A and B are shown apart, each in its own frame.
Chain A
Amino acid sequence: MSVVNQVISGPPQPGNRLSVARLGALESWDLTEVWEMSGRVAGHLLDLGVRPGDRIGVLAANSLEWVLLDLAALRIKAVTAGFDPGKFDSAGAELAARYGLAVLFTDQHETAERVRPITELRGLAPAKAELPTVRWEPGEAPALKFTSGSSGPAKSLLASAGSIDSSLAAVQEIFAHGPGDDLFVFLPLSLLQQRYWVYSALVFGHDITISTYEAAFTTLRTTRPTVVMGVPGFYETVRAHMQAGAARTGASPADLATEVFGDRIRYLWTGSAPANPATLRYFTDAGLPIFEGYGLNETCIVTKNHPGGHRPGSVGRVLPGKEVLIDADGVIHVRSEHPVATRYEHAEAGDSEKMFRPGGVVRTGDVGHLDEDGYLFVHGRADDVIVLENGKKIVVRRIEERLKTHPAIEDCVVTNPSQRQLVAIVSPSTYPMDTALVAAALQEANAALDHDEQLAKAVLAERFTIDNGLLSSQFKPRRKEIEARYRGLVVDPEEGIRA
């Protein structure tokens, strides 16, 4: 039976727990209780008129109710659409109208037609009638998910049960989550992948701790998880914090790691965006194995390093049910046995055709290669390949990664205004910036790069942040926005720091 159908087939084995942390409160339930409460919520949804195929929205921070709604939707074959209050400024009523929701539950103190307070889901009476027996077919979609990508407005797609199933089964095969494990989730449950770990706990029998973003650090050290589900931006911040702590107190990275993550970590998960190799090394050296993978919203998890197959610098080997195809230009395509989707639900005209190809193939837009043992190495975005006037193709990410190894450079984007010379737009690590240090960083990078890859100059930008629009919500630099904002400095021969 598929994992998704196992989730809804009946109560889990007792003995494993869901803990939910907010600031000032940590509550915990046996997963059998969670199952029972989700049945009450499912009954409530039916009473509200929600029927199979209807969409229910959740605009709320992580909470028990979020989990219950998602499980309840699965149990009556409704479709969950998750909205992170931090990212969606729209009111619930607008979201309900825009995405065709039968009902939306929110913690944002809003009441309107089809918008209900999520708090009403606590303390519900048992369902009046038995829930119908349902089953998800691989091509049916239990979730509407949103993808911001590196630029542009959010697109949405309906994610298939088959893709959820195949990803969860493949991840379970390589990480063997089970009794004794406690998976820590603090990223928004509006991200479908974060909800995977709830399904995993129910089917494979392990604990799960879900925290709000704000309570993440206090919860981590008190609940002592074995696995942390993070993203590169999180690990970058923690690394900077640990390094500052080491400088202040002289404590070892291993001791600081225990202080932050507790003393039971089996491994750290990272994905969604490219990780800084130096950060991966830092945690590995501190005694915390950290495994990077690769996947897009449109493909789900494609590759993953893991304890039994790990090659530093790569994003791991291809998971069962997926196939990686590299075209003549080096662009990575992914064929899935169970595609996530074959088109976007909401997107600009032409977006679906650019991404989704016939036969369950997705053109990722990333360039990379597979090594002789099947490990995938991602070099950068196909859009980031610059063709010089001599015909040489330059993958700028390699240059950017090299430049970022210097402590003076926090982030950067390499551009070429003239097809002849490369210019780095730099977000320095410290302000006021030390131009001599930036010049030194340029010199060091150039010394390690091929002739055609060498940088002519660097121009200084303000710090790239999500708030100023220069970083995406996935902490990736928004290349087009950065290039547009600093084009004047880039092309002015009088401006910039030269090596």
Chain B
Amino acid sequence: MPDAIETAARSALAQVLPQDLPPEAIDPDADLEHLGLTSLNKVLFLTSVCDRVQVGLHHFTEHDLAAMRTLGQVVTALSRHAEVH
């Protein structure tokens, strides 16, 4: 499941980044803000990836979202809830 989540997250993130980056080229440890993600696009990205992997965004709080600063952290957080299902 984490692999599927990572693939979905990379794809959803690539769609909202300002630069043309292939999904597989995104550094999982890069700060999302440094990649040019605006706060609204971050919300849209997380909403979209949660939809795709069927992990409800309701598992997280606003504070949790603020703490997800890299792609890797997003995948880890979503994987935790995907495993529970």
Interchain CA distance A215-B40 in the complex, whole Å: 11
Residues of A within 8 A of B41 (CB): 237
CB of B36 within 8 Å of the partner chain: yes
Residues of B within 8 A of A466 (CB): 38
Chain B residue nearest in CB terms to A248:
B15
Given A237-B38, A466-B38: A212 and B18 interface contact (C-beta under 8 Å): no
Whether the Cβ atoms of A430 and B20 lie closer than 8 Å is yes
Whether the Cβ atoms of B40 and A233 lie closer than 8 Å is yes
Q: Choose among B33, B36, B40, B57 the residue that contacts A237 (Cβ–Cβ < 8 A).
A: B40
Interface 1/0 per residue, A450-469 and B, CB below 8 Å? 00000000000001011100
Interface 1/0 per residue, B22-48 and A, CB below 8 Å? 000000000001001011110110011
Chain A residue nearest in CB terms to B14:
A244
CB of A213 within 8 Å of the partner chain: yes
Interface residues on B, range: 20 to 34
Interface 1/0 per residue, B4-17 and A, CB below 8 Å? 00000000000110
Q: What distance in Å separates the Cβ of A189 from its nearest Cβ neighbour in chain B?
A: 15
Q: What distance in Å separates the Cβ of A65 from its nearest Cβ neighbour in chain B?
A: 15
Residues of A within 8 A of B36 (CB): 431, 463, 465
CB of A218 within 8 Å of the partner chain: yes
Given A237-B38, A237-B40, A467-B33: A214 and B18 interface contact (C-beta under 8 Å): no
Whether the Cβ atoms of A244 and B47 lie closer than 8 Å is no
Interchain CA distance A216-B58 in the complex, whole Å: 12
Q: What distance in Å separates the Cβ of B18 from its nearest Cβ neighbour in chain A?
A: 5
Given A237-B40, A465-B38: A218 and B18 interface contact (C-beta under 8 Å): no
Interface 1/0 per residue, A19-32 and B, CB below 8 Å? 00011110000000
Whether the Cβ atoms of A23 and B65 lie closer than 8 Å is yes
Interface 1/0 per residue, A377-401 and B, CB below 8 Å? 0000000000000000000000000
Whether the Cβ atoms of A24 and B58 lie closer than 8 Å is yes
CB of B59 within 8 Å of the partner chain: yes
Given A233-B40, A410-B18, A431-B20: A217 and B47 interface contact (C-beta under 8 Å): yes
Whether the Cβ atoms of B33 and A218 lie closer than 8 Å is no
Whether the Cβ atoms of A431 and B62 lie closer than 8 Å is no
Whether the Cβ atoms of A432 and B15 lie closer than 8 Å is no
Q: What distance in Å separates the Cβ of B77 from its nearest Cβ neighbour in chain A?
A: 12
CB of A318 within 8 Å of the partner chain: no
Q: Sort A-B residue pairs by CB-CB distance and give the 5 closest, nearest first.
A: A431-B19, A24-B58, A217-B47, A214-B62, A244-B15
Listed A/B pairs (16) with beta-carbon separation below 8 Å: A23-B60, A23-B61, A23-B65, A24-B59, A61-B62, A212-B62, A214-B65, A215-B62, A216-B43, A217-B43, A218-B57, A237-B41, A241-B48, A244-B15, A410-B18, A465-B36
Binding site for A on B (CB under 8 A): 15-16, 18-20, 33, 36, 38-41, 43-44, 47-48, 57-62, 64-65
